[in-house]
Structure 1
Amino acid sequence: MNNVSNSNPLINELTWKEQEGAKYADPSENQKLEQQDFFKLLTEQLNMQDPTKPVDNDQMIAQMTSFTMAEGITGLQEQFTKFTDNMSSNQALQASTLVGRQVLVPTNSASIDGGGKASGVIAAPQTAQNVKIRIKDENDSVVRTIDVGDLAAGTKDFEWDGLDESGNSVPAGKYTFTANGQLGNSAEDLPLQMHATVQSVSTGGDRGIVLNLKGLGGINFKDVTEIG
Protein backbone atom coordinates (compact mmCIF):
# COMPACT_ATOMS: atom_id res chain seq x y z
CA MET A 1 0.00 0.00 0.00
CA ASN A 2 1.38 3.39 -1.01
CA ASN A 3 1.52 6.20 1.51
CA VAL A 4 0.27 9.61 0.45
CA SER A 5 2.91 12.34 0.83
CA ASN A 6 2.24 16.09 0.99
CA SER A 7 5.74 16.95 -0.21
CA ASN A 8 4.48 17.64 -3.73
CA PRO A 9 5.54 21.22 -4.67
CA LEU A 10 2.14 21.92 -6.20
CA ILE A 11 0.36 20.92 -3.00
CA ASN A 12 2.75 23.05 -0.97
CA GLU A 13 1.92 26.06 -3.13
CA LEU A 14 -1.81 25.50 -2.61
CA THR A 15 -1.47 25.06 1.14
CA TRP A 16 -2.59 28.13 3.11
CA LYS A 17 0.29 29.79 4.90
CA GLU A 18 0.09 32.24 7.76
CA GLN A 19 1.37 35.60 6.63
CA GLU A 20 4.30 36.95 8.57
CA GLY A 21 3.27 39.80 10.86
CA ALA A 22 -0.46 39.09 10.44
CA LYS A 23 -2.60 40.29 13.37
CA TYR A 24 -5.72 38.54 14.57
CA ALA A 25 -8.50 39.73 16.85
CA ASP A 26 -8.12 38.92 20.50
CA PRO A 27 -11.33 37.09 21.63
CA SER A 28 -11.05 38.87 24.97
CA GLU A 29 -11.30 42.31 23.33
CA ASN A 30 -14.58 44.11 22.65
CA GLN A 31 -15.65 43.23 19.09
CA LYS A 32 -18.67 45.58 18.99
CA LEU A 33 -19.08 47.48 15.74
CA GLU A 34 -19.10 51.26 16.07
CA GLN A 35 -20.58 53.82 13.65
CA GLN A 36 -17.19 54.38 12.02
CA ASP A 37 -17.01 50.65 11.30
CA PHE A 38 -20.37 50.78 9.53
CA PHE A 39 -19.20 53.68 7.36
CA LYS A 40 -15.98 51.80 6.53
CA LEU A 41 -18.08 48.86 5.40
CA LEU A 42 -20.28 51.15 3.32
CA THR A 43 -17.23 52.80 1.73
CA GLU A 44 -15.70 49.42 0.94
CA GLN A 45 -18.99 48.32 -0.57
CA LEU A 46 -18.99 51.35 -2.89
CA ASN A 47 -15.38 50.71 -3.90
CA MET A 48 -16.05 47.06 -4.73
CA GLN A 49 -19.34 47.50 -6.57
CA ASP A 50 -19.74 46.68 -10.25
CA PRO A 51 -19.64 49.99 -12.20
CA THR A 52 -22.22 48.56 -14.61
CA LYS A 53 -24.56 47.72 -11.73
CA PRO A 54 -24.17 50.43 -9.08
CA VAL A 55 -25.92 50.12 -5.75
CA ASP A 56 -29.43 51.54 -5.82
CA ASN A 57 -29.82 54.88 -3.97
CA ASP A 58 -32.76 53.53 -1.98
CA GLN A 59 -30.65 50.64 -0.75
CA MET A 60 -27.85 52.98 0.32
CA ILE A 61 -30.29 55.22 2.19
CA ALA A 62 -31.85 52.18 3.87
CA GLN A 63 -28.42 50.95 4.99
CA MET A 64 -27.41 54.35 6.36
CA THR A 65 -30.75 54.61 8.17
CA SER A 66 -30.17 51.19 9.74
CA PHE A 67 -26.70 52.25 10.90
CA THR A 68 -28.08 55.44 12.45
CA MET A 69 -30.92 53.60 14.19
CA ALA A 70 -28.50 51.02 15.60
CA GLU A 71 -26.31 53.78 17.05
CA GLY A 72 -29.36 55.62 18.41
CA ILE A 73 -30.66 52.51 20.19
CA THR A 74 -27.23 51.91 21.74
CA GLY A 75 -27.09 55.51 22.99
CA LEU A 76 -30.62 55.26 24.37
CA GLN A 77 -29.74 52.12 26.31
CA GLU A 78 -26.70 53.83 27.84
CA GLN A 79 -28.75 56.87 28.85
CA PHE A 80 -31.49 54.69 30.34
CA THR A 81 -28.92 52.77 32.38
CA LYS A 82 -27.56 56.06 33.78
CA PHE A 83 -31.10 57.24 34.53
CA THR A 84 -31.88 54.00 36.39
CA ASP A 85 -28.68 54.29 38.44
CA ASN A 86 -29.52 57.89 39.37
CA MET A 87 -33.06 56.92 40.38
CA SER A 88 -31.74 54.12 42.60
CA SER A 89 -29.27 56.50 44.25
CA ASN A 90 -32.00 59.08 44.89
CA GLN A 91 -34.29 56.45 46.39
CA ALA A 92 -31.51 55.14 48.63
CA LEU A 93 -30.80 58.69 49.84
CA GLN A 94 -34.48 59.30 50.52
CA ALA A 95 -34.85 55.99 52.34
CA SER A 96 -31.85 56.73 54.58
CA THR A 97 -33.68 59.77 56.01
CA LEU A 98 -36.41 57.44 57.36
CA VAL A 99 -34.21 55.86 60.03
CA GLY A 100 -35.85 56.50 63.42
CA ARG A 101 -39.14 57.59 61.86
CA GLN A 102 -42.48 55.80 61.68
CA VAL A 103 -43.98 54.46 58.47
CA LEU A 104 -47.36 52.92 57.69
CA VAL A 105 -47.02 49.45 56.18
CA PRO A 106 -49.43 46.65 55.15
CA THR A 107 -49.10 44.34 58.16
CA ASN A 108 -51.28 43.29 61.09
CA SER A 109 -48.39 43.11 63.59
CA ALA A 110 -46.73 45.66 65.82
CA SER A 111 -43.72 45.62 68.11
CA ILE A 112 -43.99 47.68 71.30
CA ASP A 113 -41.80 48.33 74.30
CA GLY A 114 -43.06 47.93 77.85
CA GLY A 115 -45.61 50.67 78.41
CA GLY A 116 -45.54 51.58 74.72
CA LYS A 117 -48.39 52.17 72.29
CA ALA A 118 -49.36 50.96 68.82
CA SER A 119 -51.45 52.53 66.09
CA GLY A 120 -52.71 51.73 62.63
CA VAL A 121 -55.45 52.13 60.05
CA ILE A 122 -58.54 50.04 59.31
CA ALA A 123 -59.83 49.92 55.72
CA ALA A 124 -63.54 49.25 55.23
CA PRO A 125 -64.61 48.47 51.64
CA GLN A 126 -68.19 49.37 52.60
CA THR A 127 -70.14 50.39 55.69
CA ALA A 128 -69.27 48.02 58.54
CA GLN A 129 -71.18 47.58 61.81
CA ASN A 130 -69.99 46.49 65.23
CA VAL A 131 -66.28 46.56 64.35
CA LYS A 132 -63.92 45.12 66.97
CA ILE A 133 -60.15 44.86 67.10
CA ARG A 134 -58.66 41.88 68.93
CA ILE A 135 -55.03 42.03 70.04
CA LYS A 136 -53.06 38.84 70.67
CA ASP A 137 -49.62 38.30 72.16
CA GLU A 138 -46.94 35.95 70.88
CA ASN A 139 -48.67 33.03 72.66
CA ASP A 140 -51.83 33.68 70.61
CA SER A 141 -53.72 34.81 73.75
CA VAL A 142 -56.14 37.75 73.47
CA VAL A 143 -54.86 40.54 75.70
CA ARG A 144 -57.29 43.26 74.68
CA THR A 145 -60.45 43.82 72.62
CA ILE A 146 -61.18 47.32 71.34
CA ASP A 147 -64.74 48.21 70.38
CA VAL A 148 -64.54 50.54 67.36
CA GLY A 149 -68.28 50.64 66.62
CA ASP A 150 -69.69 51.34 63.16
CA LEU A 151 -67.45 52.46 60.30
CA ALA A 152 -68.30 54.19 57.04
CA ALA A 153 -66.62 53.03 53.85
CA GLY A 154 -63.01 54.20 53.76
CA THR A 155 -60.18 54.25 56.30
CA LYS A 156 -60.11 55.02 60.00
CA ASP A 157 -57.17 55.53 62.37
CA PHE A 158 -57.02 53.62 65.66
CA GLU A 159 -54.61 53.47 68.60
CA TRP A 160 -53.91 50.96 71.36
CA ASP A 161 -52.59 52.32 74.63
CA GLY A 162 -50.59 49.17 75.39
CA LEU A 163 -52.87 48.11 78.26
CA ASP A 164 -54.58 44.75 78.74
CA GLU A 165 -58.20 44.19 79.77
CA SER A 166 -57.28 44.83 83.42
CA GLY A 167 -55.60 48.14 82.66
CA ASN A 168 -52.07 46.85 83.14
CA SER A 169 -49.22 47.54 80.72
CA VAL A 170 -48.41 44.53 78.57
CA PRO A 171 -44.80 43.33 78.36
CA ALA A 172 -42.64 44.33 75.44
CA GLY A 173 -42.98 42.12 72.40
CA LYS A 174 -44.72 41.52 69.10
CA TYR A 175 -48.52 41.70 69.01
CA THR A 176 -51.00 40.70 66.30
CA PHE A 177 -54.14 42.69 65.45
CA THR A 178 -57.36 41.40 63.87
CA ALA A 179 -60.27 43.67 62.88
CA ASN A 180 -63.68 42.12 62.29
CA GLY A 181 -67.02 43.70 61.45
CA GLN A 182 -70.46 43.04 60.00
CA LEU A 183 -70.50 43.67 56.24
CA GLY A 184 -74.06 43.21 55.03
CA ASN A 185 -75.22 39.78 56.21
CA SER A 186 -71.80 38.36 57.10
CA ALA A 187 -69.01 39.04 59.56
CA GLU A 188 -65.67 39.57 57.80
CA ASP A 189 -62.12 40.50 58.67
CA LEU A 190 -61.07 43.98 57.58
CA PRO A 191 -57.60 44.81 56.17
CA LEU A 192 -55.20 46.57 58.52
CA GLN A 193 -52.05 48.62 58.21
CA MET A 194 -49.78 49.35 61.14
CA HIS A 195 -47.24 52.01 62.04
CA ALA A 196 -43.68 50.77 62.59
CA THR A 197 -40.31 52.35 63.35
CA VAL A 198 -37.50 52.17 60.77
CA GLN A 199 -34.26 50.95 62.33
CA SER A 200 -32.04 50.75 59.24
CA VAL A 201 -32.05 50.64 55.45
CA SER A 202 -30.59 47.91 53.21
CA THR A 203 -29.72 48.39 49.52
CA GLY A 204 -28.11 46.43 46.72
CA GLY A 205 -30.05 43.17 46.99
CA ASP A 206 -32.56 41.59 44.62
CA ARG A 207 -35.37 43.33 46.50
CA GLY A 208 -33.90 46.78 45.93
CA ILE A 209 -34.30 49.13 48.89
CA VAL A 210 -35.49 47.40 52.06
CA LEU A 211 -36.56 49.11 55.28
CA ASN A 212 -35.70 47.11 58.40
CA LEU A 213 -38.54 47.69 60.88
CA LYS A 214 -38.18 47.38 64.63
CA GLY A 215 -39.36 43.92 65.69
CA LEU A 216 -40.94 43.16 62.31
CA GLY A 217 -38.06 42.55 59.90
CA GLY A 218 -37.61 43.95 56.42
CA ILE A 219 -40.19 45.39 54.03
CA ASN A 220 -39.78 46.73 50.51
CA PHE A 221 -39.54 50.51 50.34
CA LYS A 222 -42.19 50.58 47.60
CA ASP A 223 -44.73 48.98 49.98
CA VAL A 224 -44.70 51.92 52.39
CA THR A 225 -48.05 53.77 52.16
CA GLU A 226 -47.38 56.65 54.56
CA ILE A 227 -44.37 58.28 56.21
CA GLY A 228 -44.85 59.72 59.67
Structure 2
Amino acid sequence: MSLVNPYSQSLPQQTSSVSSTGTVSKNTVQSNATATSTGNPFLDSIRLPSVPETPEPKDQMLKQEDFFALLSQQLSMQDPFKPVDNDQMIAQMASFSTVDGIANLNAEILNLNSVMSSSQALQASGLVGRKVLIPSDTGAITPESSEIKGVVSTPEKIDTITIRIEDESGQLIKTFDIDGSAGGNVDVAWDGLDKNGEPVAEGSYSIKASGKVDGQSQDLPVSTYAHVTSVSLGTAATGAILNLRGIGGIKLSDVLAVSET
Protein backbone atom coordinates (compact mmCIF):
# COMPACT_ATOMS: atom_id res chain seq x y z
CA MET A 1 0.00 0.00 0.00
CA SER A 2 1.38 3.41 -0.93
CA LEU A 3 0.72 6.54 1.12
CA VAL A 4 -0.35 9.52 -0.94
CA ASN A 5 -0.50 13.07 0.39
CA PRO A 6 -4.05 14.22 -0.36
CA TYR A 7 -2.86 17.84 -0.64
CA SER A 8 -0.15 17.15 -3.20
CA GLN A 9 -2.64 16.76 -6.04
CA SER A 10 -4.24 20.15 -5.43
CA LEU A 11 -0.99 22.09 -5.21
CA PRO A 12 -0.25 24.31 -8.20
CA GLN A 13 2.96 23.56 -10.00
CA GLN A 14 5.44 26.29 -9.11
CA THR A 15 9.15 26.43 -9.66
CA SER A 16 11.36 27.86 -7.00
CA SER A 17 15.07 28.35 -6.88
CA VAL A 18 16.74 26.94 -3.77
CA SER A 19 20.27 27.77 -2.82
CA SER A 20 22.82 25.29 -1.50
CA THR A 21 21.91 26.24 2.07
CA GLY A 22 18.25 25.27 1.46
CA THR A 23 16.81 28.80 1.56
CA VAL A 24 14.15 29.92 -0.88
CA SER A 25 14.99 32.86 -3.13
CA LYS A 26 13.41 36.30 -2.65
CA ASN A 27 11.51 36.11 -5.96
CA THR A 28 9.85 32.85 -4.90
CA VAL A 29 8.77 34.28 -1.56
CA GLN A 30 7.30 37.32 -3.27
CA SER A 31 5.48 35.19 -5.82
CA ASN A 32 4.06 33.01 -3.06
CA ALA A 33 3.04 36.05 -1.05
CA THR A 34 1.18 37.56 -4.00
CA ALA A 35 -0.26 34.33 -5.38
CA THR A 36 -4.00 33.98 -5.75
CA SER A 37 -6.14 31.57 -3.75
CA THR A 38 -5.31 27.90 -4.24
CA GLY A 39 -8.79 26.67 -3.41
CA ASN A 40 -7.47 24.69 -0.44
CA PRO A 41 -8.59 26.23 2.89
CA PHE A 42 -5.59 24.82 4.77
CA LEU A 43 -3.01 26.22 2.35
CA ASP A 44 -4.80 29.54 2.08
CA SER A 45 -4.77 29.91 5.86
CA ILE A 46 -0.99 29.46 6.16
CA ARG A 47 -0.11 31.50 3.08
CA LEU A 48 1.82 34.74 3.71
CA PRO A 49 -0.45 37.81 3.66
CA SER A 50 0.12 40.11 0.69
CA VAL A 51 -0.52 43.34 2.65
CA PRO A 52 0.33 43.64 6.34
CA GLU A 53 -2.56 44.73 8.45
CA THR A 54 -1.92 47.91 10.45
CA PRO A 55 -4.31 48.70 13.28
CA GLU A 56 -5.93 52.11 13.06
CA PRO A 57 -4.95 54.61 15.76
CA LYS A 58 -7.54 54.98 18.48
CA ASP A 59 -8.90 58.33 19.53
CA GLN A 60 -8.18 58.75 23.24
CA MET A 61 -10.57 61.68 23.71
CA LEU A 62 -13.84 60.93 25.51
CA LYS A 63 -16.90 62.03 23.59
CA GLN A 64 -20.53 62.49 24.54
CA GLU A 65 -21.34 58.91 23.56
CA ASP A 66 -18.62 57.63 25.91
CA PHE A 67 -20.00 59.71 28.76
CA PHE A 68 -23.52 58.34 28.36
CA ALA A 69 -22.14 54.81 28.08
CA LEU A 70 -20.27 55.24 31.37
CA LEU A 71 -23.33 56.81 32.97
CA SER A 72 -25.53 53.92 31.84
CA GLN A 73 -22.98 51.43 33.17
CA GLN A 74 -22.89 53.28 36.48
CA LEU A 75 -26.68 53.20 36.77
CA SER A 76 -26.84 49.49 35.92
CA MET A 77 -24.19 48.61 38.53
CA GLN A 78 -25.55 50.77 41.35
CA ASP A 79 -26.73 49.36 44.64
CA PRO A 80 -30.54 49.07 44.47
CA PHE A 81 -30.72 49.93 48.17
CA LYS A 82 -28.49 53.01 47.69
CA PRO A 83 -29.33 54.39 44.25
CA VAL A 84 -27.48 57.34 42.79
CA ASP A 85 -28.84 60.63 44.01
CA ASN A 86 -30.63 62.66 41.36
CA ASP A 87 -28.60 65.73 42.29
CA GLN A 88 -25.34 63.84 41.70
CA MET A 89 -26.47 62.60 38.30
CA ILE A 90 -27.62 66.06 37.26
CA ALA A 91 -24.32 67.52 38.47
CA GLN A 92 -22.35 65.01 36.36
CA MET A 93 -24.42 65.78 33.27
CA ALA A 94 -24.05 69.51 33.88
CA SER A 95 -20.27 69.16 34.27
CA PHE A 96 -19.98 67.29 30.98
CA SER A 97 -22.18 69.85 29.23
CA THR A 98 -19.99 72.63 30.60
CA VAL A 99 -16.78 71.00 29.36
CA ASP A 100 -18.34 70.37 25.95
CA GLY A 101 -19.54 73.96 25.77
CA ILE A 102 -16.10 75.31 26.64
CA ALA A 103 -14.53 73.20 23.88
CA ASN A 104 -17.04 74.56 21.35
CA LEU A 105 -16.46 78.10 22.62
CA ASN A 106 -12.70 77.75 22.15
CA ALA A 107 -13.23 76.62 18.58
CA GLU A 108 -15.49 79.60 17.90
CA ILE A 109 -12.98 82.02 19.45
CA LEU A 110 -10.19 80.66 17.24
CA ASN A 111 -12.41 81.11 14.21
CA LEU A 112 -13.29 84.64 15.33
CA ASN A 113 -9.61 85.51 15.79
CA SER A 114 -8.87 84.35 12.26
CA VAL A 115 -11.71 86.45 10.86
CA MET A 116 -10.62 89.51 12.85
CA SER A 117 -7.00 89.13 11.71
CA SER A 118 -8.08 89.00 8.07
CA SER A 119 -10.40 91.99 8.54
CA GLN A 120 -7.66 93.99 10.28
CA ALA A 121 -5.19 93.24 7.48
CA LEU A 122 -7.78 94.33 4.92
CA GLN A 123 -8.28 97.63 6.73
CA ALA A 124 -4.52 98.12 7.13
CA SER A 125 -4.02 97.66 3.38
CA GLY A 126 -5.34 101.22 3.02
CA LEU A 127 -2.07 102.41 4.58
CA VAL A 128 0.04 101.08 1.70
CA GLY A 129 1.79 104.03 0.08
CA ARG A 130 1.27 106.23 3.15
CA LYS A 131 3.76 107.25 5.86
CA VAL A 132 3.23 106.26 9.47
CA LEU A 133 4.86 107.59 12.64
CA ILE A 134 6.58 104.83 14.58
CA PRO A 135 8.20 104.88 18.05
CA SER A 136 11.74 104.64 16.70
CA ASP A 137 14.46 107.24 16.11
CA THR A 138 15.74 105.35 13.04
CA GLY A 139 14.75 106.22 9.50
CA ALA A 140 15.86 105.12 6.04
CA ILE A 141 17.42 107.03 3.16
CA THR A 142 16.37 105.36 -0.11
CA PRO A 143 16.24 106.35 -3.80
CA GLU A 144 12.51 106.97 -3.32
CA SER A 145 12.98 109.08 -0.18
CA SER A 146 16.05 111.28 0.33
CA GLU A 147 14.95 112.80 3.64
CA ILE A 148 13.83 111.65 7.07
CA LYS A 149 11.06 113.34 9.05
CA GLY A 150 10.15 112.81 12.66
CA VAL A 151 8.72 114.22 15.87
CA VAL A 152 10.59 115.21 19.04
CA SER A 153 8.55 114.90 22.24
CA THR A 154 9.36 117.48 24.91
CA PRO A 155 8.10 117.52 28.52
CA GLU A 156 8.03 121.34 28.49
CA LYS A 157 8.91 124.33 26.34
CA ILE A 158 12.57 124.28 25.29
CA ASP A 159 14.16 127.23 23.54
CA THR A 160 16.68 125.23 21.50
CA ILE A 161 16.70 121.52 20.67
CA THR A 162 19.95 120.06 19.34
CA ILE A 163 19.57 117.41 16.64
CA ARG A 164 22.34 114.88 15.88
CA ILE A 165 22.26 112.61 12.83
CA GLU A 166 24.15 109.33 13.23
CA ASP A 167 24.72 106.44 10.83
CA GLU A 168 24.33 102.72 11.60
CA SER A 169 27.79 102.54 13.22
CA GLY A 170 27.05 105.51 15.50
CA GLN A 171 29.26 107.98 13.60
CA LEU A 172 28.11 111.61 13.70
CA ILE A 173 26.94 112.80 10.27
CA LYS A 174 25.48 116.22 11.01
CA THR A 175 24.19 118.44 13.82
CA PHE A 176 21.68 121.32 13.72
CA ASP A 177 19.24 123.10 16.05
CA ILE A 178 15.47 123.46 15.90
CA ASP A 179 13.05 125.66 17.83
CA GLY A 180 11.27 123.93 20.72
CA SER A 181 9.63 126.98 22.28
CA ALA A 182 6.16 125.65 21.39
CA GLY A 183 6.73 122.56 23.54
CA GLY A 184 4.93 119.24 23.18
CA ASN A 185 5.56 117.42 19.91
CA VAL A 186 8.01 119.31 17.71
CA ASP A 187 8.44 118.39 14.03
CA VAL A 188 11.95 117.71 12.79
CA ALA A 189 13.20 117.05 9.25
CA TRP A 190 16.62 116.10 7.87
CA ASP A 191 17.28 116.67 4.18
CA GLY A 192 19.72 113.74 3.85
CA LEU A 193 22.82 115.93 3.51
CA ASP A 194 25.95 115.63 5.63
CA LYS A 195 27.83 118.49 7.31
CA ASN A 196 29.55 119.31 4.00
CA GLY A 197 26.26 119.52 2.11
CA GLU A 198 26.81 116.23 0.25
CA PRO A 199 24.05 113.58 -0.08
CA VAL A 200 24.65 110.62 2.19
CA ALA A 201 24.63 107.00 1.03
CA GLU A 202 21.53 104.85 1.22
CA GLY A 203 20.95 103.18 4.57
CA SER A 204 19.52 103.64 8.04
CA TYR A 205 20.20 106.79 10.06
CA SER A 206 19.20 107.82 13.58
CA ILE A 207 17.89 111.17 14.76
CA LYS A 208 19.04 112.01 18.28
CA ALA A 209 17.61 115.02 20.13
CA SER A 210 18.64 116.75 23.34
CA GLY A 211 17.75 119.93 25.18
CA LYS A 212 17.87 121.63 28.55
CA VAL A 213 15.12 120.58 30.94
CA ASP A 214 15.15 122.29 34.36
CA GLY A 215 18.59 123.66 33.52
CA GLN A 216 20.10 120.26 32.73
CA SER A 217 20.81 118.70 29.33
CA GLN A 218 18.50 115.74 28.69
CA ASP A 219 17.97 113.32 25.80
CA LEU A 220 14.50 113.62 24.25
CA PRO A 221 12.45 110.79 22.69
CA VAL A 222 12.20 110.87 18.89
CA SER A 223 9.69 109.17 16.59
CA THR A 224 10.20 108.95 12.82
CA TYR A 225 8.00 108.56 9.78
CA ALA A 226 8.37 105.48 7.55
CA HIS A 227 6.85 104.51 4.19
CA VAL A 228 4.45 101.53 4.20
CA THR A 229 5.16 99.21 1.28
CA SER A 230 2.90 96.23 2.11
CA VAL A 231 0.82 94.57 4.83
CA SER A 232 1.17 91.04 6.22
CA LEU A 233 -1.63 89.10 7.90
CA GLY A 234 0.39 88.21 11.00
CA THR A 235 -1.18 86.09 13.74
CA ALA A 236 -4.01 86.47 16.23
CA ALA A 237 -1.47 87.63 18.83
CA THR A 238 0.36 90.18 16.66
CA GLY A 239 -2.41 91.35 14.34
CA ALA A 240 -1.59 92.96 11.00
CA ILE A 241 2.07 93.70 10.29
CA LEU A 242 3.08 96.81 8.34
CA ASN A 243 6.19 96.34 6.19
CA LEU A 244 8.16 99.59 6.13
CA ARG A 245 10.66 100.60 3.47
CA GLY A 246 14.21 100.22 4.76
CA ILE A 247 13.01 99.53 8.33
CA GLY A 248 11.24 96.18 8.43
CA GLY A 249 7.96 95.10 9.97
CA ILE A 250 5.99 96.72 12.78
CA LYS A 251 2.66 95.88 14.39
CA LEU A 252 -0.29 98.02 13.39
CA SER A 253 -1.03 98.65 17.07
CA ASP A 254 2.40 100.33 17.47
CA VAL A 255 1.68 103.06 14.89
CA LEU A 256 1.47 106.50 16.51
CA ALA A 257 0.12 108.56 13.60
CA VAL A 258 -0.52 108.43 9.87
CA SER A 259 0.72 111.09 7.45
CA GLU A 260 -0.74 112.08 4.09
CA THR A 261 2.67 112.00 2.38
TM-score interval, normalised by the smaller of the two chains: 0.7 to 0.9
**3-state SS in 2 of match to 1:171:** coil
CA distance in 2, matches of 1:91, 1:203: 8
Q: Quick one: which amino acid aligns to residue 190 of structure 2?
A: W
| AA of the residue aligned to 1:43 | S
Equivalent residue letter for 2:186: K
Moved more, 43-52 or 92-101: 92-101
Q: Secondary structure at the match of 1:97?
A: helix
Corresponding residue for residue 141 of structure 1: 172
CA distance in 1 between partners of 2:83 and 2:162 (Å): 86
**How far 1:203 moved relative to its partner?**
4.3
State the shift of 1:184 in Å.
Answer: 0.8
Q: Establish whether residue 191 from structure 1 lines up as the match of residue 221 from structure 2.
A: yes
Q: 1:113 to 1:204 in 2, by over 3 A?
A: closer
How many residue pairs were aligned?
A: 201
**Residue correspondence of structure 1 range 115-194 to structure 2 within 5 A:** 116-137=146-167, 140-152=171-183, 154-164=184-194, 168=197, 170-173=199-202, 174-194=204-224
Letter of the structure 2 residue corresponding to residue 179 of structure 1: A
SS at match of 1:43: helix
Shift of 1:54: 0.7
2:245 is aligned with 1:214: yes
Greater CA radius of gyration, 1 or 2?
Answer: 2
Deviation at 1:133, TM superposition (A): 1.6
Match of 1:51 in 2: 80
SS in 2 for 1:30: coil
- In the other structure, the counterpart of 1:69 is 98
Question: TM-score, normalized by length of structure 2?
Answer: 0.66
1:91-102 aligned at under 5 Å gives the runs: 91-102=120-131
Deviation at 1:40, TM superposition (A): 2.7
How far residue 137 of structure 1 moved from its aligned partner, in angstroms, is 4.2
Residue deviations 1:38-66 (CA, integer Å, cap 9, x gap): 22322232222222111112211211111
Gaps of 5+ in 1: 1-25
| Residue number in structure 2 paired with 1:4 | none
**How far apart in 2 are the matches of 1:150 and 1:100?**
33
Amino acid paired to 1:180: S
For 2:120, give the aligned amino acid.
Q
Deviation of 1:103 after TM superposition, in Å, equals 1.1
**Higher-strand-fraction structure:** 1
Verify: 1:31 aligned to 2:60, yes or no. yes
Identity %: 43
Q: Give TM-score, length-normalised by structure 1.
A: 0.74
